[in-house]
């Protein structure tokens, strides 16, 4: 799986975002690129094995931009910062597991809970895993789909509230209960019924 | 009170050309004559003259329309994503608004209602109804359930369109009633065989042109013109129509319900009414007079929610009656197309004869005519706005839906709400009611006691796209408008999975 992943990621075309052939563009800001490259260093120093990328691209045509090559680390442990902190760049950690139970435990071992993806053709697992993953969105056999039809937002430290869907409308409303006594008798004022 | 007879001088040449032109039915994206070649005449109710001929569709034409609707249901319409459907429905709403100069006059010409009511009331309401349901197309969600049984389960519901629906539209609000049915059916992904009333098919055919212009795929909306007993009956009994929706009389509603049992198609019915207008002692007399008059005479009383039984507290009875009679006598009768007309004709000779017969029956059984009391003039189908008093509970004017500008008035003495509700509920109908009062508690208590689908307080005949409308008792099955109308055109599928 990891071999195929590395081979596939290697085919990504990095370049000018205005070129329709481009698949991976630059990082938006310079400080953010520095942060991504710093995380790559931290991962190497903590003992993760770098399987792909890990630097700015060599192509002189894009040397002036804030590019980072798609990067994959293997042998990542749950304790490493690369597995715990949000890098916000094209950097992937591959973490092996033995069974569903362990996969769930690793996936949920995070202060974050925004999204998750599961790949399986097992009908039961495709429902069970989303139920158990602590994330506001779970994609099965797909990733990153969002729509105004479907609420999006975080568990845990990934946020408050949901955007999109009818849930988003609740974020901007408050509910008022109005009570009207339509009766014509005088209620006992000192007793609550 | 004078009845003008020549509506043609108010007729825009473009409207005249369309109305008198050659009409065909919209079936599977084609404009076709009836298979039999026969046509039926459409009359101007203000003159009784023939203004158009439309195809007289029958069983064979309904068959063709159902086939086209079935093909569209299993084809482009059901596979289209809801957001695309929403866009098309919204575009249709825009077109209806843009074509108000055609739709308004066509509507008033064929059904007789004052042009302002068409142009400023019915046509905008029609557009708004399509817009409201365009929004619902993307919000038809199922839900997931938490299961009680032991074990691992996942259960959810889907809301799926019912399929091919037959919709039979009345002549009193030819465009609004069309919108109440077509819009939710389109939003939910159903396909439609629509039959407008034989008296008012022209507006619906013009609407068919707008359906095409909006880009709604062929076969999604099919329009078959024809008589109820031929085309309507063929639809009600059709084995490949999954649902039938009808607005009209209780008598025909029962026939449709019986015909629908063949394939047990789903049925929704919006039928007759005999709405009470209840004026409590504390009511603002001026407001109650205006409200009661409008309740009884709006649309020449041809509204299923029309307020046709006045219950007025004795203390203000004389004042209210004098006020309503004064208003009735001042109403300017004339053709719908004449901008100065305040009250149009009733829709047909047959309706006019039925209304005047019921008034006569009331008189001969001892009721008194406060004002009006029969036909106005001798041209067209005009009926004088009429108030009847001294009625008893068994008279036909009190029991039957008159569907004309006729109301019966009854005083009451004490404000025992239970007794009042008993009298108001003393009818087989239960469509609507209005209560006129400024007493907060009495208003809510009485509203709860009235057996009808709508209760208006200090208003009457007030409809909004968000408010469900339909009948208790023999006034019908189901609710149109609001979110509830979506239930008429969807069916729920439960999916339960045992997790291995």
Domain of residue A51, CATH code: 3.40.309.10
Minimal-distance CA residue of chain A relative to B137:
A149
- Residue B480 makes CB contacts below 8 A (sequence gap 6+) with B180, B181, B184, B268, B270, B468, B469, B470, B488
* Chain A residues lying within 8 Å of B441, measured CB to CB: 181-184
Interface of B with A in 140-179 (CB under 8 A): 152, 154
Domain count along chain A: 1
- Arch. (CATH architecture) of B7-271+476-494: 3-Layer(aba) Sandwich (3.40)
CA geometry: angle B204, B206, B208, nearest 5 deg: 70
Pairs of CB atoms within 8 A across A/B: 30
Whether the per-residue pLDDT at B5 is higher than 70: the answer is no
Nearest to residue B178, comparing CAs of B166, B190, B170, B188? B170
Sheet containing strand B153-161, edge to edge, reads B144-145, B153-161, B490-498
| Nearest chain B CA: its distance from A2 CA (Å) | 29
B468/B482 Cα distance (integer angstroms) = 5
* Coil, strand or helix at B454: strand
Token pair 């004078």 is at which residue? B2
Q: What is the pLDDT of residue A179?
A: 86
Mean pLDDT of B13-31: 97
Which secondary-structure segment (H or E) carries B186? helix B174-188
- Please compute, for residue B394, the number of CA atoms within 13 A of its CA located in the half-sphere on the CB side: 2
**Is B81 at the interface with chain A, CB within 8 A?**
no
Tokens 């508690």 — which residue? B441
Best of A140, A182, A185, A187 to disrupt the B interface (most B CBs within 10 Å) is: A182
Nearest to A180 among B138, B444, B497 (CB): B444
**Spatial CA neighbour of B357 closest among B387, B400, B328:** B400
State the average pLDDT for chain B: 96
CA distance B82 to B25: 28
Residue A191 has pLDDT above 80, yes or no: no
Q: What is the three-class DSSP state of B51?
A: strand
The values of phi and psi at residue B454, to 5°, are: -135, 135
Contacts of B442 in chain A (CB under 8 A): 184
For B203-249, the pLDDT digits (tens) are: 999 999 999 999 999 999 999 999 999 999 999 999 999 999 999 99
Count CB atoms within 10 A of the CB of residue A65: 18
Q: Each residue of B53-71: pLDDT tens digit?
A: 999 999 999 999 999 999 9
- Say whether B275-465 and B7-271+476-494 share the same fold: no
Residues in B touching A127 (Cβ below 8 Å): 154, 497, 499
- Chain A residues close to B497, C-beta within 8 Å: 123, 127
Nearest to A124 among B138, B444, B500 (CB): B500
Task: Give residues 348 to 367 of B whose Cβ lies within 8 Å of A.
Answer: none
Mean pLDDT for B295-324 is: 98
Q: Which residues of B are catalytic?
A: 270, 304
Q: What is the rounded average pLDDT of the residues A152-175?
A: 94
**What CATH number is given for B275-465 in this structure?**
3.40.309.10
Residues of A in contact with B444 (CB under 8 A): 180, 182
pLDDT of residue B166: 98
pLDDT tens-digit map of A76-95: 999 999 999 999 999 999 99
A152 domain-assigned: yes
* Best of A118, A120, A124, A165 to mutate (most B CBs within 10 Å, chain B): A124
Rounded mean pLDDT, A94-99: 95
Of B139, B441, B499, the CB nearest to A183: B441
Q: Is B445 on the interface with A (CB under 8 A)?
A: yes
Contact: A181, B441; criterion CB under 8 Å:
yes
Q: Which residues pair with B492 in a beta bridge?
A: B159
Nearest to A166 among B139, B441, B442 (CB): B139
Asked whether the predicted pLDDT for residue A12 surpasses 60, the reply is yes
Q: What is the pLDDT of residue B223?
A: 98
Question: Is the confidence at residue B1, as pLDDT, over 50?
Answer: no
Whether the CB of B139 is below 8 Å from some CB of chain A: the reply is yes
Phi/psi for A140 (5° steps) reads: -110, 125
In this prediction, residue B3 has a pLDDT band, given cuts at 50, 70 and 90, of very low
- pLDDT surpassing 90 at residue A21: yes
What percent of chain A shows pLDDT beyond 70? 98
Mention every residue, 6+ apart, whose C-beta is less than 8 A from residue B447. Answer: B435, B455, B457
pLDDT confidence band for A192 (50 / 70 / 90): low
Q: Do B138 and A149 touch (CB under 8 A)?
A: yes
**B444: nearest CB among A123, A148, A182:** A182
Does B459 have pLDDT greater than 50? yes
- Chain B CB contacts of A123 below 8 Å: 497, 499-500
Report domain extents, chain B. 7-271+476-494, 275-465
The pLDDT of residue B2 is above 50: no
Contact B343, B331 (CB under 8 A): yes
Mutation target to probe the B interface, by most B beta carbons within 10 A, among A149, A167, A169 is: A149
Torsion angle in degrees (nearest 10) through CA of B316, B317, B320, B321: -160
State how far residue A184 is from chain B, nearest Cα, in angstroms. Answer: 7
Domain encompassing residue A28: 2-170
Model confidence band, residue A184 (pLDDT cutoffs 50, 70, 90): confident
pLDDT in tens, B334-386: 999 999 999 999 999 999 999 999 999 999 999 999 999 999 999 999 999 99
- pLDDT of A58-77, one tens digit each? 999 999 999 999 999 999 99
Q: How far apart are CA B242 and CA A26, in angstroms?
A: 56
Whether A180 is in a domain gets the answer no
Q: Considering CB atoms only, which of A131, A148, A180 is closest to B440?
A: A180
d(CA A148, CA B82): 12
Residues 166-185 of A with CB under 8 A from B: 166, 180-184
Euclidean distance between CA atoms B404 and B356, whole angstroms: 9
**3 state DSSP class of B348:** coil
Q: Quickly list DSSP for B413-445.
A: -S--HHHHHHHHT-SS--SEEEEE-S-HHHHHH
pLDDT of residue A87: 97
Q: Taking CB atoms and an 8 Å cutoff, what residues of chain A touch B81?
A: none
Residue A29 pLDDT exceeds 50: yes
Q: Cα–chain-centroid distance for residue B160?
A: 26
The pLDDT-based confidence of B201 (bands split at 50, 70, 90) is very high
**Residue B4: is its pLDDT beyond 60?**
no
Q: How confident is the model at residue A193 (pLDDT cuts 50, 70, 90)?
A: low
Among B125, B135, B99, which residue's Cα sits nearest to residue B214? B99
Assess B441–A contact: CB distance below 8 Å, yes or no.
yes
What is the DSSP annotation of B287-323? HHHHHHHHHHHGGGG-STT-EEEEEEEHHHHHHHHHH
Say if residue B7's pLDDT is above 80: no
DSSP E strand stretches across A20-162? 49-52, 71-74, 91-93, 115-118, 137-140
Q: What are phi and psi of A126, to 5 degrees?
A: -65, -20
CA distances from B185 to A12, B221, B292, B486 (A): 47, 10, 34, 8
């Amino acid at each position: 799986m990891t071999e195929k992943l590395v081979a596939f990621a290697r085919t990504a075309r990095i370049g000018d975002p205005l070129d329709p052939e481009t698949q991976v563009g630059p990082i938006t800001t310079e400080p953010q690129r520095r942060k991504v490259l710093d995380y790559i260093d931290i991962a190497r120093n903590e003992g993760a094995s770098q399987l792909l990328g890990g630097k700015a691209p060599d192509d002189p045509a894009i040397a002036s931009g804030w590019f980072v090559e798609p990067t994959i680390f293997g042998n990542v442990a749950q304790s490493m910062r690369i597995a715990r902190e949000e890098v916000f760049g094209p950097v992937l950690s591959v973490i092996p597991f033995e069974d569903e139970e362990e996969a769930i435990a690793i996936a949920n071992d995070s202060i974050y809970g925004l999204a998750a993806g599961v790949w399986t053709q097992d009908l039961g697992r495709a429902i069970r895993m989303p139920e158990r993953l602590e994330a506001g969105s779970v994609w099965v056999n797909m990733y990153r789909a969002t729509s105004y039809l479907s609420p999006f937002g975080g568990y845990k430290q990934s946020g408050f509230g949901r955007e999109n869907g009818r849930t988003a409308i609740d974020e901007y409303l408050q509910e008022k209960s109005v009570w009207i006594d339509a009766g014509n008798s005088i209620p006992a004022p000192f007793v609550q019924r | 009170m004078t009845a003008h007879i020549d509506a043609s001088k108010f007729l825009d040449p473009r409207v005249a050309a369309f109305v008198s032109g050659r009409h065909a039915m919209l079936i599977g994206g084609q404009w076709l004559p009836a298979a039999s070649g026969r046509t039926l005449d459409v009359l101007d109710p203000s003159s009784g003259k023939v203004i158009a001929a439309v195809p007289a569709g029958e069983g064979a034409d309904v068959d063709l329309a159902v086939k086209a609707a079935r093909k569209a249901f299993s084809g482009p319409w059901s596979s289209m994503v809801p957001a695309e459907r929403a866009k098309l429905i919204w575009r249709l709403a825009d077109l209806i608004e843009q074509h108000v100069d055609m739709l308004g006059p066509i509507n008033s010409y064929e059904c007789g209602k004052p042009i302002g009511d068409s142009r400023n009331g019915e046509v905008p309401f029609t557009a708004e109804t399509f817009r409201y349901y365009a929004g619902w197309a993307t919000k038809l969600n199922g839900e997931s359930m938490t299961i009680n049984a032991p074990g691992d389960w996942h259960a959810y519901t889907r809301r799926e369109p019912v399929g091919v629906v037959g919709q039979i539209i009345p002549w009193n609000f030819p465009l609004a009633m069309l919108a109440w049915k077509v819009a939710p059916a389109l939003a939910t992904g159903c396909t439609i065989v629509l039959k407008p009333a034989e008296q008012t098919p022209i507006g619906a055919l013009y609407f068919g042109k707008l359906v095409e212009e909006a880009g709604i795929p062929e076969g999604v909306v099919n329009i078959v013109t024809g008589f109820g007993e031929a085309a309507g009956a063929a639809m009600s009994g059709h084995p490949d129509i999954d649902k039938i929706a009808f607005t009209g009389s209780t008598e025909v509603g029962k026939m449709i319900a019986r015909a629908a049992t063949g394939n047990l198609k789903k049925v929704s019915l919006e039928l007759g009414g005999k709405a009470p207008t209840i004026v409590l002692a504390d009511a603002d007399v001026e407001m109650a007079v205006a409200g009661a008059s409008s309740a009884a005479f709006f649309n020449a009383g041809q509204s299923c929610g029309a307020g046709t039984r006045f219950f007025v507290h004795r203390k203000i009875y004389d004042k209210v009656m004098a006020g309503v009679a004064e208003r009735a006598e001042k109403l300017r009768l004339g053709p719908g197309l004449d901008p100065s007309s305040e009250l149009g004709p009733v829709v047909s000779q047959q309706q006019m004869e039925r209304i005047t017969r019921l008034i006569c029956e009331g008189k001969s059984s001892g009721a008194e005519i406060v004002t009006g009391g029969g036909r106005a003039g001798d041209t067209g189908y005009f009926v004088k706005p009429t108030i009847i008093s001294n009625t008893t509970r068994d008279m036909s004017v009190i029991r039957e839906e008159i569907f004309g500008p006729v109301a019966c008035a009854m005083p009451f003495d004490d404000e025992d709400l239970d007794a009042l509700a008993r009298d108001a509920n003393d009818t087989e109908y239960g469509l609507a009611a209005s209560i006129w009062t400024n007493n907060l508690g009495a208003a809510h208590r009485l509203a709860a006691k009235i057996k009808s689908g709508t209760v208006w307080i200090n208003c009457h005949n007030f409809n909004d796209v968000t408010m469900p409308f339909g009948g208790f008792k023999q006034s019908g099955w189901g609710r149109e408008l609001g979110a509830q109308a979506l239930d008429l055109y969807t069916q729920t599928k439960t999916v339960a999975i045992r997790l291995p």
